[in-house]
Structure 1
């Protein structure tokens, strides 16, 4: 078996970029390569100062690159397909089974409701939902609703979407020190904005 190599991360970036270019469903305006790049960037930020070994940092970045590639085949069960894609990629690199297991575990941990166990899993989960605690939340939330409608053909009722968004913001918690210290405050601000908006939505 081969020890984890940093060059695998660059290789993964190219591989994932090509997957999205060639197979991204029409109307996928949220789960795209741009989102993936933002998650990788957030993972790097959240990992600063954390007691991660070099192999763990590589596992984190690889899981960040692969965490949403399963969306090219649809949203249902995409985490499992993403984990499988990462496993195929790493088997080709002759990676150690324990390392592959760590990458798979991090990707699968992003399923809602999030219940990460390891530090790598916690960082990736926070990176995936980083925007919940930032000013980007409103825009990203609009894109997600638009994507669901475009890719499924179903109309998402505005009031129901607002209720679901409120539930997510009320229930979600960050796991990393950075997330708890900085992002949680932003999430509460976004929650208050949505609560105010809900009062303005007419009851059907």
Structure 2
């Protein structure tokens, strides 16, 4: 069985290292401080809805990686975030099901940002979006 807390700690460290190693002054908003703020608020929401450990992990992973792609690309940062998350999960030996759910969450974020009517279906992970 996966140790979600331990994996989240590795994930947090990984994202922080990426931000520190690729720090750009041009990213006034999409930076580590913003990401940590999103994570704190995600924890509050996830706790309110009493998510399972797996669902909690998925939404926290999505929060950590939601803007990390900006460090490498301003045009398709969601896709780069998915790629970086995939590499991390693969290196940790985490299976495809969690990866697919995480990717869908990141792309739903992107779709909602660009459209009032999302073209991708919402992913049900224990609560409504």
TM-score range, shorter chain: 0.7 to 0.9
| 1:21 counterpart residue number | 20
> Number of residue pairs matched?
123
- C-alpha contact 1:4 1:95 (8 A) present in aligned 2: no
The ranges of structure 1 where at least 4 consecutive aligned residues each deviate by more than 6 angstroms after the TM superposition are none
Q: Distance between the aligned counterparts of 1:18 and 1:72, measured in 2? A: 12
Q: Distance between the aligned counterparts of 1:41 and 1:51, measured in 2? A: 15
| 1:6 counterpart residue number | 5
| 2:87 counterpart residue number | 88
Q: 1:72 aligned to 2:71?
A: yes
Q: Which 5+ residue runs of structure 1 have no aligned equivalent?
A: 124-174, 176-204
- C-alpha contact 1:24 1:71 (8 A) present in aligned 2: no
Q: 1:118 aligned to 2:119?
A: no
The TM-score with structure 1 as length reference comes to 0.55
Q: Distance between the aligned counterparts of 1:100 and 1:69, measured in 2? A: 16
The TM-score with structure 2 as length reference comes to 0.84
Deviation, 1:104, is: 1.3
| 1:37 counterpart residue number | 36
Q: Which has the larger radius of gyration?
A: 1
Deviation, 1:68, is: 0.9
- C-alpha contact 1:4 1:55 (8 A) present in aligned 2: no
| 1:191 counterpart residue number | none
Q: Which 5+ residue runs of structure 2 have no aligned equivalent?
A: none
| 1:165 counterpart residue number | none
Deviation, 1:50, is: 1.6
